[in-house]
Structure 1
Amino acid sequence: MKRVVVGLSGGVDSSVAAYLLKEQGYEVIGLFMKNWHDDSVTISNECPWLEDSNDAMLVADKLGIPFQTVDLSEQYKERIVDYMFSEYEKGRTPNPDVLCNREIKFDVFMKIALSLGADYVATGHYCRKAEIETENDPVYQLLAGVDQNKDQSYFLCQLSQEQLAKALFPIGELTKPQVREIAAKLDLITADKKDSQGLCFIGKVRLPEFLQQQLKPKEGLIYEVDANHPIYNQPKPSFQTKEEELAFLAKDIAYEPQFGKVVGNHQGAHYFTIGQRKGLNVGGTKEALFIVATNVNDNAIYTGQGHAHPGLFKKALFIDQSELHWIREDLRLAPGETMEVMVRVRYRQPLQKATLHQVNSGMYIEFNEPQSAITQGQFAAWHIDDELIGSGVIA
């Protein structure tokens, strides 16, 4: 009998994952990860860890599986929270959920599970795993979940072959309604529980207040740049090489105060991100204002009216070589090679047609259509059909 440790989060997905594994004949152990102590920044007990660990314990009890809590708050602070602060400080927008899977669930947590004699670690992610037999070792594939509306493969885009080898995703073949139905039939306390929002395992956090713990407020100006500004209508230079053209397409516009007019104040450019619409508190414009750029050095925010503003769109992005990650190492490109793929630059974004261009310093992703709000620090993930094959941090 193979032993599986399930990360029981106190939600319906991991509860049903544990049940399915038990039905399949595995020896199942439930483990709850405590990743956070500070309740002062979570919003009105939306998802306090105490309630979640109680729910996880009740589910384990109902399923008749052993249960314990592990405190990973120290590692979480070190690997996730400190990283978040440093990224925001640089004016980038990190994705803590992707990191939490790579660094906590499938690293720290997985090592604890293996030390308990587990053969596998399972989570309640909506994705699937497949295996291809090769001459040497088996190659593991990360596939989208069957429920198109809930596919969470994006959050696992940084996993390695070693991590995938030990991972199980029992609900990947099911839809959310089917998962809730199973939980209701079993009369699990989590059957109707709302999905948790916000930071992985912390709950719903007031992000500005969370960031203010380390990044001090600093008043600055909000500028509005007109959609017809000459900066958006510059003639395209001629290029000697494809790489020169890609560098041009991926380059951010260097905004300056004289490009726009002052429309408001903010409390710190590092609290804001490209494409953001809420939280600016500027009224009186015909269309909503969207952030087209932030500058943490000058503490300035640049905005434009409407979601079709040209400042939001780019045709290409760059990923530094050190930030490139291939789940399918066997498909890795050599400098000069290209590959046609489908890409998303944020969770829930529909997949977009694009071409990968590997160069010596990293990789360019060139989209068939310009993309809105490509944001530094977020992950771009690329797919062939329903398989996620690689990802990287947008530079």
Structure 2
Amino acid sequence: MKRVVVGLSGGVDSSVAAYLLQQQGYEVIGLFMKNWHDDSVTISNECPWLEDSNDAMLVAEKLGIPFQVVDLSKEYQDRIVDYMFKEYELGRTPNPDVLCNREIKFDVFMKIALSLGADYVATGHYCRRGITQDTNGNEVYQLKAGVDNNKDQSYFLCQLSQEQLSKALFPIGELTKPEVREIAKELDLVTADKKDSQGLCFIGKVRLPEFLQQKLQPKEGVIVQVPNTFDGYTRKIPVFENKLEELAFHSQKYTYSVANGKIVGKHQGAHYFTKGQRKGLAVGGTQEPLFVIETDVNENVIYAGEGKNHPGLYRKVLFVSNEELHWIREDLALEIGDSMEVLARIRYRQPLEKATLYQVPNGMYVEFENPQSAIQEGQFVAWHLEDELLGSGVIA
């Protein structure tokens, strides 16, 4: 019997994952990761770890599997929370869930599991692992989308390596959410009707400004509304010598100054806001809501545009530096000068969009067929061929 450690989160997905592995003949151990202590910034009782660990324990009892709580809060603080603070301080938008999978679940947690003699680590993610061969006939692991299009979570695992995938199992990847709930109901599991957790990986729903204020001090600044007629949006497009020049031109974001618009309000810190954000600006008197189109953390200015079709929100090309480029399928990584047609997305739940990758000496351009809203530095872009996620990178 192969031994599998399941990350039991106290939710329905990981509960059913543990049951399915049992049915497949694995020896299953349940571990709950305790990663967060501070309830002062979580909203109501959205994700209290105590209740979750209790539910996880009840599921383990019901399934008759060993169960233990492991405290990873120090590692979570060092690798995830501190990273979030740093990114917001720099005016970037972090994705803690992607990092959490790479750094906590499939690194710190996986090492604990392997030390318990586990052959694999399993989670309740809606995605699938495939095995194929490269051109030399070597075994290669694939990360594939979950069968349930509505729940596919492969994006959150876009930073995993071949080594991590080789030890990972995703038992519910072939199922839809309603099927998972049905199995849990038949087994009379305490998690069968439990709502899906929302918000930050392991922390739950947080009041982001209050969460960030633990480290980042409030600092009053102005909100500047930039009109649709801003010169930058109608700039003359030069004649390009080559594709590289064209990509470099279109990947540049717009630069604004306070003189480019009118001051319409105040804020408590540009580092609390991200591009594309609508809530929290608290500015009235416009026909359509205002959206953040840029934040300047150095000058502490927020630039906003009216309506979700404001030209300041859209770009077609983004860049990923070589240091931030990650191929799950290393055998398919592009050489300098190569290009590849893919489907890509820049955030979870966004439909996949047609795009082309261009590898250049210092990194890679991703050119979308259609302009994308709120391309934000710090976020992850992930690219697919059909249902397989090939790689990802941090937007520069």
State the TM-score, normalized to the length of structure 2: 0.99
Amino acid at match of 1:270: H
Amino acid at match of 1:43: I
Amino acid at match of 1:144: A
Distance in 1 separating the partners of 2:174 and 2:162: 21
| Residue 261 of structure 2: aligned partner | 260
Provide the secondary structure at the position in 1 that maps to 2:46.
coil
Q: Deviations over 1:192-250 (max 9, x none)?
A: 10010111011111111000000000000001111122221011012222111111101
| Residue 311 of structure 1: aligned partner | 312
| Residue 7 of structure 2: aligned partner | 7
Please say if 1:366 is aligned against 2:367: yes
Provide the secondary structure at the position in 1 that maps to 2:390.
strand
Task: Quote the offset at 1:133 in angstroms.
Answer: 3.3
Amino acid at match of 1:120: Y
Distance in 2 separating the partners of 1:63 and 1:53: 15
Distance in 2 separating the partners of 1:136 and 1:342: 26
Please say if 1:185 is aligned against 2:207: no
| Residue 228 of structure 2: aligned partner | 227
Distance in 2 separating the partners of 1:203 and 1:233: 42
Q: Deviations over 1:67-111 (max 9, x none)?
A: 000000000000000011001000000000000000000000000
Moved over 2 A (4+): 133-137
Amino acid at match of 1:249: H
| Residue 89 of structure 2: aligned partner | 89
Amino acid at match of 2:180: V
1:162-201 matches, within 5 Å, as 162-201=163-202
Amino acid at match of 1:47: C
| Residue 270 of structure 2: aligned partner | 269
| Residue 241 of structure 2: aligned partner | 240
Distance in 2 separating the partners of 1:355 and 1:192: 42
Provide the secondary structure at the position in 2 that maps to 1:354.
strand
| Residue 63 of structure 2: aligned partner | 63
Distance in 2 separating the partners of 1:304 and 1:336: 37
Q: Deviations over 1:157-207 (max 9, x none)?
A: 000000000000000000000000100111100001001011101111111
| Residue 80 of structure 1: aligned partner | 80
Amino acid at match of 2:201: C
Moved more, 242-251 or 70-79: 242-251
| Residue 343 of structure 2: aligned partner | 342
Moved more, 222-231 or 174-183: 222-231
Task: Quote the offset at 1:141 in angstroms.
Answer: 0.5
What is the root-mean-square deviation of aligned Cα atoms in Å? 0.7
Amino acid at match of 1:32: F
Provide the secondary structure at the position in 2 that maps to 1:183.
helix
- Sort the Cα spacing of 1:296 and 1:38 in 2 relative to 1 into closer, same or farther, 3 A: same
| Residue 217 of structure 1: aligned partner | 218
1:61-140 matches, within 5 Å, as 61-134=61-134, 135-140=136-141
Distance in 2 separating the partners of 1:381 and 1:393: 9
Identity of aligned residues (%): 75
Moved more, 240-249 or 270-279: 240-249
Amino acid at match of 1:77: Q
Provide the secondary structure at the position in 2 that maps to 1:253.
coil
1:351-362 matches, within 5 Å, as 351-362=352-363
Amino acid at match of 1:190: T
**Count, aligned residues:** 395
Please say if 1:39 is aligned against 2:42: no
Distance in 1 separating the partners of 2:215 and 2:253: 27
State the TM-score, normalized to the length of structure 1: 0.99
Provide the secondary structure at the position in 2 that maps to 1:99.
helix
Amino acid at match of 2:337: G
Instruction: Structure 1 unaligned segments of length 5 or more: list them.
Output: none
Task: Quote the offset at 1:137 in angstroms.
Answer: 3.2
Amino acid at match of 1:346: R
Please say if 1:329 is aligned against 2:330: yes
Amino acid at match of 2:95: N
| Residue 20 of structure 2: aligned partner | 20
Distance in 2 separating the partners of 1:238 and 1:159: 40
Distance in 2 separating the partners of 1:299 and 1:106: 37
Provide the secondary structure at the position in 2 that maps to 1:106.
helix
Provide the secondary structure at the position in 1 that maps to 2:309.
coil
Distance in 1 separating the partners of 2:82 and 2:36: 13
Distance in 1 separating the partners of 2:215 and 2:84: 10
Provide the secondary structure at the position in 1 that maps to 2:372.
strand
| Residue 281 of structure 2: aligned partner | 280
Distance in 2 separating the partners of 1:344 and 1:147: 17
Amino acid at match of 2:4: V
Q: Deviations over 1:271-298 (max 9, x none)?
A: 0000100111011101110111000000
Distance in 1 separating the partners of 2:140 and 2:337: 25
Distance in 2 separating the partners of 1:37 and 1:47: 11
Provide the secondary structure at the position in 2 that maps to 1:129.
strand
Distance in 2 separating the partners of 1:237 and 1:224: 28
Task: Quote the offset at 1:136 in angstroms.
Answer: 5.0
Provide the secondary structure at the position in 2 that maps to 1:151.
coil
